[in-house]
Every structure is written in structure tokens, then in C-alpha cells.
Amino acid sequence: MAKTKTAFFCSHCGAQSPKWIGKCPSCGEWNTYVEEVIQRQEKQNIPKRGATPTLITDIELSAENRIDTHNQELNRVLGGGLVPGSVVLVGGEPGIGKSTLMLQVALTIRNLKVLYVSGEESEQQIRMRAERLGMGKNECYILTETSTSDILAHISNLNPGIVIIDSIQTLSSENIDASAGSISQIRETASELQRFAKTVNVPVFLIGHITKEGTLAGPKLLEHMVDTVLQFEGDRNYGYRILRSVKNRFGSTSELGIYEMQSDGLREVSNPSEILITQHEEQISGSAIAATIEGLRPMLIETQALVSTAAYGTPQRSCTGFDTRRLNMLLAVLEKRSGFKLGIKDVFLNIAGGLRVDDPATDLAVVSAVLSSNVDMPISSKTCFAAEVGLSGEIRPVTRIEQRVSEAEKLGFEIIVISKLNWKAAKSASKNIKIEAVSRIEEVFSLLFA
Ligand code: TYD
Ligand code: MG
């Protein structure tokens, strides 16, 4: 019998080494090397694609042949539909709803044979879930199998138009002698599926788990191998789920898809502002609404701040859904430029709905929410904000102001506070909404609380 060959792999980046090392020379992480069996058999039955150099103008364009998944939010995140032959990795924490989302897609997609391969649940369990989601009228096949050679054999018999694998960590390939879920197995099974997708031009969804550190379990390498990486996230305490594209070879990565988890599956939220703005009966202090843009879509979201006297010497700053360093910077600007003594106060900031925002246009709403909580005076719920705040306390213009103004107007806001430098463009987009253009933070204060 041949001697078992082993090697060490970095569980962070997938680099290989013949012996154990403490620090990965490739990604610099410590203590990530694990031993794995790598005895490879000779590869058979994997179709090789004989590539020849082709003139770029001779290559057929297939960009417009995207598959409509009949799930508008998913289409949006994928950049306008599913590209044939692409491999899409859907990552997320356990229980967030990855299997639900994919099964729902499998049931609603039309005119395509779907093969849903599950290594985690039994056929009965999947059927029960499908009953809950509402059965579609299309051809959806379920296969409970974990060996890639068997899966590929079933695929070539069935000829599906789309394959869903739940999950990549449960698969194993006979070409490699390591346990399922290990780095070398993930790499091997993913590359077999990728080769399959590219050869027959069938899209493959791979579901992947996320480790407790928040990275996709298995090597980062998996992210490099696939065409698109989608992250499914959300707060357990809210029913909302956000599908975010982290990498996309066929579209933008700034798109968001928003869903609400209900008892009969995930509902698409096509008008996110409806859920991101909490409806108050009376006006409360510490809340301000920002007109942001995520991807191509304008959204009005609520920022909530609580400013209170610090109980200990060092004031606390805590954020949910917003960058803490950015909050600290904004507080320093308030302190330095406008004389608001926030240095002895605790500041808590929360973006409503469990969303995470990066749009710099949120700055002014954050600053206003903090000021409002500090003086304990509410801001009218018919006012929203769209501007960046600079280090010297100046109110800076933001991109695509016209879209923000029209979205705010559409949702019934009466006033939008923006930078003076955005005034002209904003004016052209507004009909009934009142535009307040400001150039310094002090002006905002007197505008809101004078
Ligand atoms: P699941 O798709 O199994 O998560 P994952 O595959 O990411 O581990 O989601 C399971 C959760 O979703 C579970 O906590 C129950 C909830 N759920 C609903 O609220 N409504 C539904 O219709 C379904 C199918 C699941
Ligand atoms: Mg699952």
C-alpha cells in the first residue's frame, strides 16, 4: 500500500507547506496550519476543455442571456440576473436562512430544471420546508448526496439548468483522501464543480458556512475560485435579512437585497425605506433620517443616538451599523469646531433595522441625531439629511443628490438638509420638498434647534 502523503495547509489562505509552521508566510496569520492527507489518485472522468487562443471579436457575446431567478432582490445583487456557467457562493451564519433562500429560488425559477443537492437535510425535511414556502409548479429535483462523483453522475443523467449545493462543507471527492469540510476537500470539490459549471455552462450555487470569526469556513481560496460571493446577513432579533455581494465578476458589489423572514419564507422587501424608518406616534429626540444610496438604490434610513453623562472617567462610544471610528471623528469635529462638550458624555448610535451603512452621506444625520439627543429636542420626522461632514466642520456635497431628493420627496418628507455645494442639482430635482442648504455645522444647529 502506498504511504499516506500529508501536507500542511493554512486554514486562512490555503497556502501549502510540507511541514508545520507557526506563521503563514503567505497571509501572515499565526497558528493556522493544519495537517491534511493529500494522497491524490490520478484524475479521471473530468472533462478537459481544450482552449485555443480566440480573437476577442470572434467570442460570442452572451451577456444578455442572464437567467431571471424570479427573485428581484437576488437578481439585483447578482447584477441583473444569473450568468450561465457562473459559480455563486452564498455565505452566512447558521440559521440565517441560506437554505430557505435557495430552496425558494429553486421553487420559483421558471422554465428550468433545478437540482437541489443537500448534504445536510433529508428529503422529507426539504419537502416539509417546501410545503411551508409554497410549492412551485416547476421541475425541482432533490438529491441527498455528498460524493461529488455521484453528484456529477446524477447531473449528467438529469441535465438540470441550475444546480444548488447545500453546502460545500458537506461534500467530499474521492480524488482526495481527506474528511469532508477540510480545506483540501473544499478546494477539490469546489474546483470540480467549477469545472463542471464552465464546461456545460450551467450556473451553480454553493452554500457555505461562516466561522465564528465571520469569515467563510474553508480557505479564502474558495472566494477566489468562484465568480460571485454573496453574504447573507442580518440580526437574529430582527426579521430582516440582507443579501450583500462581496465579490462579483458580473456586476457591482455595492448592491443590497433586502428580505423579511416570515413564517412562510423570505419576503422580498422592494421598498426598504418602509421598514428602515420606525413610525413614531410622538416626536422623540435623538433620531434623524438620512437619505442614503446603497448600490443604485436610494434608501431613507433612521439613525438613532443616545447621549448621556458618562458614569466613568472614560466616556463610552458604541455603534451598531455604523463605523465607530467615523463616529469618534464626527464627535471630535463637534467638540472642536462647535464647542459642544461631548467629551464627558457617553454616545450610543444605532442604525434602525439592523442595517450597516457606509455611505458618507449619513454623516449629517448622525451628527444631527447626536445633537438632538444632547439638547433633548426632537427633529421633525418630516426632515431628512444628506451630506458628509468634513474635519473642519464644513458640510460637504454628496453624489447623486437628485436621486436622494426625489426619493425623500416620494416618501413624503417636507425638508431635506444638504450641502450648499449640492444646492443647484438638488433644486432641479425637487418639486414640493423644501431644500435647506448649509455650509457649516453651526448652521445646522441653529436651523434645527433655534
Ligand atoms: P435555514 O434556511 O435553515 O438557515 P441556514 O441554511 O442558513 O442555516 O433557516 C432556518 C431559520 O429560518 C430557522 O430559524 C427558521 C426560519 N424560518 C422561518 O422563519 N420561516 C420559514 O418559512 C422558514 C423555512 C424558516
Ligand atoms: Mg442550511
Q: How confident is the model at residue 28 (pLDDT cuts 50, 70, 90)?
A: confident
pLDDT digits (tens, 9 = 90+) for 114-143: 999 999 999 999 999 999 998 777 789 999
Whether residues 30 and 121 fall in one domain: no
pLDDT, position 153 = 94
Q: Total domain count for the chain?
A: 3
pLDDT, position 337 = 82
Asked whether the whole model's pTM tops 0.85, one would answer no
Whether residues 196 and 287 fall in one domain: no
Nearest ligand 1 atom, CA 207 = 6
Of 47-56, 79-88, 248-257, the one with minimum mean pLDDT is 47-56
Which residues are placed with Cβ below 5 angstroms of ligand 2, an ion? 99
Whether residues 230 and 359 fall in one domain: no
Separation of alpha carbons 291 and 276, rounded Å = 11
Separation of alpha carbons 85 and 164, rounded Å = 13
Q: Which domain holds residue 106?
A: 67-270
Does 171 reside within a domain?
A: yes
Whether residues 293 and 340 fall in one domain: yes
Q: Is residue 92 in contact with ligand 1, taking CB distance under 6 Å?
A: yes
Q: How confident is the model at residue 46 (pLDDT cuts 50, 70, 90)?
A: low
Residue 62 near residue 84, CB atoms below 8 Å: yes
Q: Is residue 132 in contact with ligand 1, taking CB distance under 6 Å?
A: yes
Mark which of 209, 239, 270 sits at the end of a domain: 270
Does 23 reside within a domain?
A: yes
Whether residues 226 and 163 fall in one domain: yes
Whether residues 321 and 443 fall in one domain: yes
Whether residues 305 and 378 fall in one domain: yes
Nearest ligand 1 atom, CA 166 = 6
Q: Is the pLDDT of residue 386 over 80?
A: yes
Does 33 reside within a domain?
A: yes
Whether residues 218 and 348 fall in one domain: no
pLDDT, position 87 = 95
Ligand nearest to the CA of 170: 2
Triad 167, 170, 171: Cα angle to 5° = 95
Ligand nearest to the CA of 167: 2
Whether residues 137 and 260 fall in one domain: yes
Whether residues 200 and 309 fall in one domain: no
Most informative mutation of 96, 100, 118 for ligand 1 (most atoms within 8 A of CB): 100
pLDDT digits (tens, 9 = 90+) for 235-277: 666 778 889 888 899 888 777 888 988 889 899 988 777 776 7
pLDDT, average across residues 195-215: 84
Q: Is residue 97 in contact with ligand 1, taking CB distance under 6 Å?
A: yes
Does 50 reside within a domain?
A: no
Determine how β-strand 297-309 pairs with β-strand 345-351.
antiparallel
In this structure, the residue with its CA closest to atom 2 of ligand 1 is 97
Q: Is the pLDDT of residue 218 over 70?
A: no
Whether residues 173 and 300 fall in one domain: no
- What is the CA(304)–ligand 1 centre distance, in A? 29
Q: Is the pLDDT of residue 349 over 70?
A: yes
Whether residues 320 and 206 fall in one domain: no
3-state secondary structure 393-441: CEEECCCCHHHHHHHHHHCCCCEEEEEHHHHHHHHHHCCCCEEEEECEH
pLDDT, position 33 = 85
pLDDT, position 205 = 96
